[in-house]
Structure 1
Amino acid sequence: MTDPAHPRPVLLITGAARRVGSVIARSLHAAGYDLALHYRNSQADMQALCKDLEAVRANSTCAIQAELADIERLPQIVETCVARYGRLDGLVNNASAFFPTEVGKTTVQQWNELFVSNAQAPFFLAQAAAPFLKSTQGSIVSIVDIYAERPLARHPVYSMAKAALAMMTLALARELGPDVRVNGVAPGAILWPESGKPYADQAELVARSALKRTGTPEDVASAVLFLLRDAKFTTGQILKVDGGRALVI
């Protein structure tokens, strides 16, 4: 249901208010996309982001507050986007929870929080978005993690949830083809989690990578843009943006 009155492509990005999500939003906006930007609690950050983007191009953003754990709300996020713009060309599953879970002490609440943001919400958002993406020959890009392949110590549930997201990427590429392409980006050392890791661990990790440096949020955003816009014959792929870290992890 593409609206000829709105010729610019439209993206829905989850977790877009801060950190890598906000850089993805800025980069894709600069590339000509109009944006529906999801956030949960970071209202002030979202307002500042939208103000900046609207100064560049008026009427090009739509902020949507929602708790992704509310599964009944997820189709409404997509519907709000389509009602605003008349079309949907891409979904970027960026929102993610990240924290350690110790075996023997992991709670159901911790399990649910990690799986909701990293697996459940991306799937049900993709399901709701699929009919609209089919009409625009659109695509889905999810932010996965190198730890979907090899577990991170002290983070078993997070690693499992990202592995589910990786398999979702492959499965939906098969299920939604040929009309919708589905891919992922697996970042390495970009921004350290706000909960923090020991600096020695960070330095050692970077030193062991092939490029021996950290990446930037812009590196992730460039990969997302490539998969959304340019990789027309690519689906079911997870692009590592890790400076060669996966070679030695």
Structure 2
Amino acid sequence: MPEPTPVALVTGAARRLGAAIAQQLHAAGYAVVLHCRGSRAEADALAARLEARRAGSTLVLQADLAEFDRLPELVAQAVGRFGRLDALVNNAAAFFPTPVATVTPAQWATLMDANLRAPFFLSQAAAPHLAATRGAILNLSDVYARQPRADLVAYATSKGALEAMTRALAAALAPDVRVNALAPGAILWPDEAGDAALQDRILARTALGRTGTVEEIAATALWLLRDATYITGSTVAVDGGRSPL
């Protein structure tokens, strides 16, 4: 009998790191469930490219992860379509400056909903299905979780909590489900016009002296989900040897 096709649900999969991870998993033989919020056209275009390589291997789901009821629904739709779930990649995130003196409750809620609450409750919904396949969860953290920047206080807090949640879920779901996090450094600069001087300072404090690539992140994600079978509760930094700013 042929081996069953593994299935991965990737949040925020239409663009940037999420799209790269989804493509890497698909190339490795996974069926991929591509979640998006507002980037439906890009998610559909990515699905079309992947379907051209292997028909029936994708599902696009659109949802605002701040809407609590949509979280178990995403997992149910993924399992309903493919009959199993082997990997959950909590990639979708909110990111914007949050200097301590100006953080508002609304900003705090936006960051915590996207970066912490959604990953937790998606993991909760996915856990029984992942246990059945001896699957894995991967949370996308950030170098700023452990090296906070002064203007990213609330964001860094949300990602630090995500790493703590990773360790807690790894303990709670063992031995059936592995849970790890991946913390990128300078990979892609923000879409909006960035601070060139800040970018220069970041690269000056990166031992390898360059930005990383989305392919390097995606390859590490695949390794943690499929191959790192004796690793759980860990955060792997893919940051080129970054020192604090």
Give distance in 2, aligned partners of 1:133 and 1:75.
14
Give distance in 2, aligned partners of 1:147 and 1:103.
15
How big is the alpha-carbon RMSD for the aligned residues of Structure 1 and Structure 2?
A: 1.4
Give distance in 2, aligned partners of 1:32 and 1:5.
13
Alignment counterpart, residue 139 of structure 1, candidates 121, 136, 146: 136
Amino acid of the residue matched to residue 65 of structure 2? L
Preserved contact between residue 187 and residue 213 of structure 2 (Cα < 8 Å): yes
Instruction: Say whether residues 1:43 and 2:40 are aligned partners.
Output: yes
- After TM superposition, give the deviation of residue 104 of structure 1 in Å: 2.8
Secondary structure in 1 matching 2:100: coil
Instruction: Say whether residues 1:9 and 2:25 are aligned partners.
Output: no
Amino acid of the residue matched to residue 88 of structure 2? L
Hey, what does 1:74 align to over in structure 2? 71
Deviations along 1:2-51, whole A, 9 cap, x unmatched?
xx998100000000001111111111100110011100000110111000
Alignment counterpart, residue 16 of structure 2, candidates 19, 29, 40: 19
Deviations along 1:140-197, whole A, 9 cap, x unmatched?
0011011111211211110000011000100000000000000010000000112343
Instruction: Say whether residues 1:182 and 2:187 are aligned partners.
Output: no
Instruction: Say whether residues 1:105 and 2:92 are aligned partners.
Output: no
- After TM superposition, give the deviation of residue 211 of structure 1 in Å: 0.4
Segments ≥4 residues shifted beyond 2 Å: 102-105
Stretches of structure 1 that go unaligned for 5 or more consecutive residues are none
Hey, what does 2:229 align to over in structure 1? 232
Alignment counterpart, residue 173 of structure 1, candidates 170, 173, 176: 170
TM-score normalised per structure 2: 0.97
Give distance in 1, aligned partners of 2:241 and 2:146.
14
Amino acid of the residue matched to residue 39 of structure 2? S
Hey, what does 1:216 align to over in structure 2? 213
TM-score normalised per structure 1: 0.95
Amino acid of the residue matched to residue 94 of structure 1? N
Deviations along 1:43-64, whole A, 9 cap, x unmatched?
1101110000000000000000
Hey, what does 1:114 align to over in structure 2? 111
Give distance in 2, aligned partners of 1:196 and 1:113.
22
Instruction: Say whether residues 1:89 and 2:86 are aligned partners.
Output: yes
Preserved contact between residue 11 and residue 92 of structure 1 (Cα < 8 Å): yes
Give distance in 1, aligned partners of 2:99 and 2:215.
32
Matched residues, number: 245
- After TM superposition, give the deviation of residue 239 of structure 1 in Å: 0.4
Amino acid of the residue matched to residue 16 of structure 2? R
Give distance in 1, aligned partners of 2:190 and 2:111.
15
Among the aligned pairs, what percent are the same residue?
Answer: 53
Deviations along 1:46-87, whole A, 9 cap, x unmatched?
111000000000000000000000011100000000000000
Amino acid of the residue matched to residue 8 of structure 1? T
Secondary structure in 1 matching 2:207: coil
Preserved contact between residue 13 and residue 25 of structure 1 (Cα < 8 Å): yes
Amino acid of the residue matched to residue 120 of structure 2? F
Stretches of structure 2 that go unaligned for 5 or more consecutive residues are none
Preserved contact between residue 147 and residue 244 of structure 2 (Cα < 8 Å): no
Hey, what does 2:31 align to over in structure 1? 34
Give distance in 2, aligned partners of 1:6 and 1:107.
50
